[in-house]
Structure 1
Amino acid sequence: MPEQAEQQIPDVRKQVVVAATTEHCWKVFTERPKDWWPSSHVLVRKERAGLAFEPGVGGRYYEWDVDGNEIAWGRILEWDPPNRLVMTWRIDGRWQSIPDDERASEIEVQFTAVDAGTTKVELSHVKLHKHGEGAEGIFRALDGPSPGETLDLFSKAI
């Protein structure tokens, strides 16, 4: 896609500050996604039974339904506990699952200690132009006030 198109869809960056260490935040984010994942964010066709992150670069983050059918939301590109996580986001411009990372945007999550018991959590959606037709709609849906639905649920899970 031409560079000009990339520049037409800005990144969406959200943040929240929580009363927890970076280690605790990392653990809740990567080991307990069911505690903070928005219930409306579902790719499986039947009732979702679970969500998981496979630790390390190349691992998947995925969900499965009650029959055991799995759909990957994406792959881990950076895995730097307890500081940073970067992953692909495998949806198309109509919010439907795509099978690989060719048209996937990326999600960056940064955990930064404010002090010994407080962490700033930043969640960014980047490279949204990769969603193709419909990418502008995805941007508009994500570009509301901070912290956004996901980080609001995450802060409550902490």
Structure 2
Amino acid sequence: MRTITPAPVRRSFSVKAPPQRAFDVFAAGMGRWWPPSHHIGEGELAQVIVEPRVDGRWYEKTSTGAECDWGRVLVWDPPRELVLAWQLSADWTYDPDLTTEVAVTFTPDGTGTRVDFEHRGLEAYGQRADEVANSVGSPGGWPAILQSFATLADS
């Protein structure tokens, strides 16, 4: 039996900010650009937090005060690279036994920064891998989320 592995979701684009600002907006400022509709906890999304260290948590806080893990920090190398473990199931719940990776690099590009984004390891979803790849790669998934980041980084 042949297994087909879904391609990673990739995006590359430039922002006007220098690498350190782009990295900071992406990591420390995630709660300012992450779409409020994209959360897993009860209530409304209040904050998105990336703890600034390897093995730090990546999680949300909701208006009810609940904290819901999304994953953890695998690589913390400001202002060059950030890799996050995405540990959300195909049903959008936290699953500590599932890991895909969200990898972002920030490269000086003239007066701004080239941002290379990749959500990889989607084969971890097994039979639902294509479904998840199509969802996170859809216009309402990473493309819209990254556009929100770019807009804030450019401001």
Fold in common (TM above 0.5): yes
* 1:130 maps to which of 121, 124, 129: 124
Q: Does 1:148 align with 2:143?
A: yes
Partner residue, 1:157: 152
* 1:13 maps to which of 10, 35, 42: 10
Instruction: Give the superposition deviation at 1:104.
Output: 1.9
Separation in structure 2 between the aligned mates of residue 68 and residue 144 of structure 1, nearest angstrom: 30
Q: Which runs of 5+ in 1 are unaligned?
A: none
Separation in structure 2 between the aligned mates of residue 99 and residue 67 of structure 1, nearest angstrom: 21
Q: Does 1:99 align with 2:95?
A: yes
Partner residue, 1:27: 24
Q: Which runs of 5+ in 2 are unaligned?
A: none
Separation in structure 1 between the aligned mates of residue 35 and residue 114 of structure 2, nearest angstrom: 20
Q: Does 1:112 align with 2:110?
A: no
Partner residue, 1:59: 56
Instruction: Give the superposition deviation at 1:83.
Output: 0.5
Segment drifting more, 42-51 vs 72-81: 42-51
Structure 1 residues 72 and 65 mapped into 2: Cα distance closer, same or farther (>3 Å)? same
Query: TM-score with structure 1 length normalisation?
Result: 0.87
CA contact (8 A) 1:91 1:131 kept: no
1:113 maps to a residue whose letter is P
Query: TM-score with structure 2 length normalisation?
Result: 0.89
2:53 maps to a residue whose letter is G
Partner residue, 1:121: 115
CA contact (8 A) 1:12 1:142 kept: yes
Separation in structure 1 between the aligned mates of residue 100 and residue 79 of structure 2, nearest angstrom: 23
CA contact (8 A) 1:17 1:118 kept: yes
Separation in structure 2 between the aligned mates of residue 69 and residue 144 of structure 1, nearest angstrom: 28
CA contact (8 A) 1:34 1:51 kept: yes
